[in-house]
């Protein structure tokens, strides 16, 4: 069954499920095989980022499938992101060009500001030192994003991990509006208020860590986890002949978001996309809605003292 698409506010179409690719940071062969398995399984949406360090590996895997005649470039929806040490306006376009060179593409379908905060290139994922933090206005970075769009390097532009007030700041100056906000979203953090806010402004939500990212490398033993096999979810799964993970991914689609589950397992990759032969009832959605606790698995706590830290706000 073909994956349906969401029509974005600028008219571009985004498949409603994608493959997350940060799993290839330590072993490039893992993400390469995952991308090829995903294409064979019917995925056409791939969520990438310069910070993951694997754009070149993903590009080679995709080009291999193109050469095999399995897909064409136009069949695919490729997303990548601007990292936090490249927020100066003059750095945005060259950084986008570097991503395109890594992929071997002329354009990406969606280019996102990865996080709203900026800092120096210190080598740290989230540098806690205030000396590493940089105050670069989001509005300045957005001007660079708009130039990527004008040059044809990105068919759409958007943001990631932005709160409502940060999005409004962009909208107040934007000549080209963001079409997506990619945020952590799963049953324990269903982002109801942020989803409503973004919908009112024509901005779609992409859900990262849709199953709670149980294998995230930064997890501490004391961290809370998203329990996907709750009895209520298992019961709903039995009704449809689906696994708990499939039920929760379907939930995220039914509430209007686009989940991007990560997996390196061929069987799990296939399982995750096999969710378009059923739809949850409003009552079943309401059951899963009740799981919301506001729990984040990616909170970037080290940057809580950064001026642009997004999670001090309610949404």
Catalytic residue among 52, 111, 208, 251: 52
Distance from C-alpha of 45 to C-alpha of 235, rounded to nearest angstrom: 30
Other CB atoms within 10 Å distance of the CB of residue 249: 26
CA-CA-CA-CA dihedral for 282, 210, 262, 239, to nearest 10: -30
Nearest to 44 by CA among 15, 69, 64: 15
Residue 52 among the catalytic residues: yes
Judge contact between 265 and 239, C-beta under 8 A: no
Tokens of 288: 């899963």
The distance between the two most distant Cα atoms of the chain, rounded to a whole number of Å, is 55
Judge contact between 226 and 196, C-beta under 8 A: no
- Residue 134 CB burial class (10 angstroms; 0-12, 13-18, ≥19): middle
CA-CA-CA-CA dihedral for 7, 198, 296, 126, to nearest 10: 90
The neighbouring-strand residues paired with 184 are 208
Catalytic residues: 52
């Amino acid at each position: 069954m073909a994956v349906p698409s969401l029509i974005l506010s600028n008219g571009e179409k985004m498949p409603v499920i994608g493959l997350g690719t940060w799993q290839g940071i330590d072993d490039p062969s893992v993400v390469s095989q995952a991308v090829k398995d995903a294409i064979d399984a019917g995925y056409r949406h791939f969520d990438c980022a310069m910070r993951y360090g694997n754009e070149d590996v993903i590009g080679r895997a995709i080009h291999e499938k193109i050469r095999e005649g399995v897909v064409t470039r136009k069949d695919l929806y490729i997303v990548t992101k601007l990292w936090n040490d490249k927020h100066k306006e003059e750095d945005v376009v060259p950084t986008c060009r570097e991503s395109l060179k890594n992929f071997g593409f002329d354009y990406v379908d969606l280019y996102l500001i990865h996080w709203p905060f900026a800092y120096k290139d210190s080598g740290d994922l989230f540098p806690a030192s205030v000396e590493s933090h940089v105050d670069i206005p989001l509005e300045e970075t957005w001007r660079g994003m708009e130039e990527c769009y004008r040059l044809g390097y990105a068919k759409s532009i958007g943001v990631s991990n932005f709160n409502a007030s940060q999005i409004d700041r962009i909208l107040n100056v934007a000549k080209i509006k963001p079409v997506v906000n990619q945020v952590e979203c799963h049953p324990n953090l269903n982002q109801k208020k942020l989803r409503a806010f973004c919908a009112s402004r024509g901005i779609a939500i992409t859900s990262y860590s849709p199953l709670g990212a149980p294998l995230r490398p930064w997890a501490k033993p004391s961290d809370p986890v998203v329990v996907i096999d709750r009895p209520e979810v298992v019961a709903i799964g039995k009704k449809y002949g689906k696994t708990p993970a499939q039920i929760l991914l379907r939930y995220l689609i039914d509430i209007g978001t686009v989940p991007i589950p990560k997996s390196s397992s061929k069987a799990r990759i296939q399982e995750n996309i096999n969710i378009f032969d059923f739809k949850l009832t409003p009552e079943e959605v309401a059951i899963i809605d009740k799981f919301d606790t506001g729990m984040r698995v990616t909170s970037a706590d080290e940057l809580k003292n950064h001026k642009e830290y997004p999670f001090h706000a309610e949404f």
